[in-house]
Amino acid sequence: MIKEQTKLDIDNVDVFYGKKQAIFNVDLEIKKNQVTAFIGPSGCGKSTLLRCFNRMNDLIDICKVSGSILLDSVNILDKKLDLVRLRTKVGMVFQKPNPFPKSIYDNVAYGPKIHGLCEDISELDEVVEKSLKSAGLWNEVKDRLNEPGTGISGGQQQRLCIARAIATNPDVILMDEPCSALDPIATARVEELMQELKKNYTIIVVTHNMQQAARVSEKTAFFHLGHLIEFGNTEEIFTSPNEIKTQDYITGRFG
Amino acid sequence: MFDISLYFIFLLGLSSYYIGKNRAKKNINLITETGGLESHYGMYLVIWTILPAFIFYLIWSVISNYLIKEATLGSIPNDLLPNNLSMQKLFLDSIIVVAKGGSSLSKVPEISVAFYQNFAFYSTLGKSISTISISLISFFIFYKKIDSNVRAKNFLERIILVFLFISSIIAIMTTVGIILSLIVETTKFFQDVTIFEYFFGLLWSPQMALREGQVAAEGSFGAVPVFAGTFLITIIAMALAGPVGLFSAIYLSEYASKNTRKIVKPTIEVLAGVPTVVYGFFAALVVGPFIRRTSESFGLASSSESALAAGLVMGIMIIPFISSLSDDVINSVPQSLREASFGVGATKSETIKKVIIPAALPGIVAAFMLAISRAIGETMIVVMAAGLSAKLTANPLDSVTTVTVQIVTLLVGDHEFDSTKTMAAFALGMTLFAITLILNIYAIRVVKKYREKYD
3-state DSSP assignment of residue A159: helix
Contact (Cβ atoms closer than 8 angstroms) between residue A22 and residue A48? yes
Q: Are residues B184 and B227 in the same domain?
A: no
B320-342 pLDDT, tens digit each: 999 998 998 998 888 889 999 99
Contact (Cβ atoms closer than 8 angstroms) between residue B115 and residue B71? yes
CB-based contact (8 Å) between A180 and chain B? no
Give A128's contacts in chain B (Cβ within 8 Å): none
Contact (Cβ atoms closer than 8 angstroms) between residue A155 and residue A190? yes
Q: Are residues B280 and B429 in the same domain?
A: yes
The total of structural domains in chain B comes to 3
If contacts are CB pairs under 8 Å, which of residues 181-240 in chain A contact chain B? none
Q: How far off is chain B from A150, nearest CA to CA, in Å?
A: 7
Whether residue B240 has pLDDT greater than 90: yes
Q: Are residues B374 and B397 in the same domain?
A: yes
User: Which of B84, B118, B150 is where one domain is finished?
Assistant: B150
C-alpha neighbours within 13 Å on the C-beta side of residue A172 = 26
Cβ pair A167:B342 closer than 8 A:
no
Residue B444 domain-assigned?
A: yes
Q: How far off is chain B from A91, nearest CA to CA, in Å?
A: 6
B68-81 pLDDT, tens digit each: 888 888 877 777 77
User: Which one of A92, A114, A150 has the shortest CB-CB distance to B343?
Assistant: A92
CA A10 – CA A87 distance, rounded (Å): 17
User: Which one of B342, B344, B454 has the shortest CB-CB distance to A164?
Assistant: B344
CA B201 – CA B220 distance, rounded (Å): 8
Q: Spell out the alpha helix ranges (H) of chain A.
A: 46-50, 83-89, 104-115, 121-134, 138-141, 154-166, 184-197, 210-216, 234-239, 244-250
User: Which one of B342, B350, B358 has the shortest CB-CB distance to A56?
Assistant: B342
Cβ pair B359:A100 closer than 8 A:
yes
User: Which one of B334, B344, B358 has the shortest CB-CB distance to A91?
Assistant: B344
Q: Are residues B263 and B240 in the same domain?
A: yes
CB-based contact (8 Å) between A87 and chain B? yes
User: What letter represents residue B422's amino acid?
Assistant: T
Q: Are residues B159 and B144 in the same domain?
A: no
CA B136 – CA B188 distance, rounded (Å): 52
User: Which one of A59, A84, A94 has the shortest CB-CB distance to B345?
Assistant: A84
Q: How far off is chain B from A4, nearest CA to CA, in Å?
A: 27
A64-102 pLDDT, tens digit each: 888 889 988 889 888 888 888 899 899 999 988 899 988
**CB-based burial, B103-120: b 16+ in 10 Å, e otherwise:** eeeeebbeebbebbeebb
Whether residue A251 has pLDDT greater than 90: no
Q: How far off is chain A from B200, nearest CA to CA, in Å?
A: 44
3-state DSSP assignment of residue B178: helix
Whether residue B207 has pLDDT greater than 50: yes
Give B333's contacts in chain A (Cβ within 8 Å): none
Give A96's contacts in chain B (Cβ within 8 Å): 336
Give B350's contacts in chain A (Cβ within 8 Å): 114
Give A61's contacts in chain B (Cβ within 8 Å): 257
**A82: nearest CA in chain B?**
B345
Residue B199 domain-assigned?
A: no
Cβ pair A101:B337 closer than 8 A:
yes
Q: Are residues B393 and B260 in the same domain?
A: yes
A107-126 pLDDT, tens digit each: 999 999 988 888 889 999 99
Residue B322 domain-assigned?
A: yes
Q: How far off is chain B from A138, nearest CA to CA, in Å?
A: 20
Query: Residue B369 maps to which CATH number?
Result: 1.10.3720.10
Highest mean pLDDT out of B166-180, B220-234, B253-267: B166-180
A164 exposed, middle or buried (CB, 10 Å; 0-12, 13-18, 19+)?
A: buried
Q: Spell out the alpha helix ranges (H) of B85-151.
A: 85-99, 110-145
CA A222 – CA A213 distance, rounded (Å): 11
CA B107 – CA A153 distance, rounded (Å): 88
Residue B198 domain-assigned?
A: no
Cβ pair A164:B346 closer than 8 A:
no
Residue B228 domain-assigned?
A: yes
CB-based contact (8 Å) between A101 and chain B? yes
Cβ count near A215 (within 10 Å): 17
Residue B159 domain-assigned?
A: yes
Q: Are residues B179 and B141 in the same domain?
A: no
Cα B195-B201-B206 angle, rounded to 5 deg = 90
ipTM above 0.90 for this complex: no
Q: Are residues B383 and B324 in the same domain?
A: yes
pLDDT classification of B451: cutoffs 50, 70, 90: low
Give B336's contacts in chain A (Cβ within 8 Å): 94, 96, 98
Whether residue A44 has pLDDT greater than 90: no
Size of the A and B interface in Cβ pairs below 8 Å = 73
Whether residue B307 has pLDDT greater than 50: yes
List, edge to edge, every strand of the sheet that includes A172-176: A90-93, A172-176, A202-206, A35-39, A219-224, A227-233
Strand partners, A205: A37, A175
Give B257's contacts in chain A (Cβ within 8 Å): 61
Cα B322-B399-B415 angle, rounded to 5 deg = 95
pLDDT > 70 fraction of chain B, expressed in percent and rounded: 94
Cβ pair A148:B343 closer than 8 A:
no
Whether residue B223 has pLDDT greater than 90: no
**A106: nearest CA in chain B?**
B354
B108-135 pLDDT, tens digit each: 778 888 888 888 888 888 889 999 999 9
Q: Are residues B246 and B376 in the same domain?
A: yes
Quote the distance between the C-alpha of residue A40 and its chain's center. 16
**B255: nearest CA in chain A?**
A59
pLDDT averaged over every residue in chain A: 88
Cβ pair A148:B453 closer than 8 A:
yes
B333 exposed, middle or buried (CB, 10 Å; 0-12, 13-18, 19+)?
A: buried
CA B348 – CA A138 distance, rounded (Å): 30
Highest mean pLDDT out of B237-241, B302-306, B408-412: B237-241
Q: Are residues B394 and B325 in the same domain?
A: yes
Contact (Cβ atoms closer than 8 angstroms) between residue A220 and residue A232? yes
Structural domains present in chain A: 1-80+172-255 (3.40.50.300), 101-169 (no CATH)
pLDDT > 90 fraction of chain B, expressed in percent and rounded: 23
List, edge to edge, every strand of the sheet that includes A6-17: A20-31, A6-17, A63-71, A74-75
Cβ pair A165:B345 closer than 8 A:
no
CA B91 – CA B105 distance, rounded (Å): 11
Contact (Cβ atoms closer than 8 angstroms) between residue B169 and residue B384? no
Residue B212 domain-assigned?
A: yes
B169-178 pLDDT, tens digit each: 999 999 999 9
CA A32 – CA B203 distance, rounded (Å): 80
A194-211 pLDDT, tens digit each: 998 888 899 999 998 888
CA dihedral B167, B172, B173, B179 (to 10 degrees): 160
Q: How far off is chain B from A165, nearest CA to CA, in Å?
A: 6
Give B337's contacts in chain A (Cβ within 8 Å): 98, 100-101
Q: Are strands A74-75 and A219-224 parallel, antiparallel or unpaired?
A: unpaired
pLDDT at B194: 84
3-state DSSP assignment of residue A102: coil
Q: How far off is chain B from A62, nearest CA to CA, in Å?
A: 12
Cβ pair B343:A102 closer than 8 A:
no
pLDDT classification of B1: cutoffs 50, 70, 90: very low
CA B152 – CA B35 distance, rounded (Å): 9
CA A160 – CA A109 distance, rounded (Å): 11
Contact (Cβ atoms closer than 8 angstroms) between residue B77 and residue B91? no
pLDDT classification of A1: cutoffs 50, 70, 90: very low
Q: How far off is chain A from B322, nearest CA to CA, in Å?
A: 23
Cβ pair A101:B336 closer than 8 A:
no
- Spatial neighbors of B100 by CB under 8 A, at least 6 apart, are none
Q: Are residues B280 and B358 in the same domain?
A: yes
Residue B197 domain-assigned?
A: no
CA B340 – CA B175 distance, rounded (Å): 47
pLDDT at B82: 75
Q: Are residues B343 and B422 in the same domain?
A: yes
Strands (E), B156-226: 204-205, 220-221
Strand partners, A16: A21, A64
Domain encompassing residue B185: 155-192
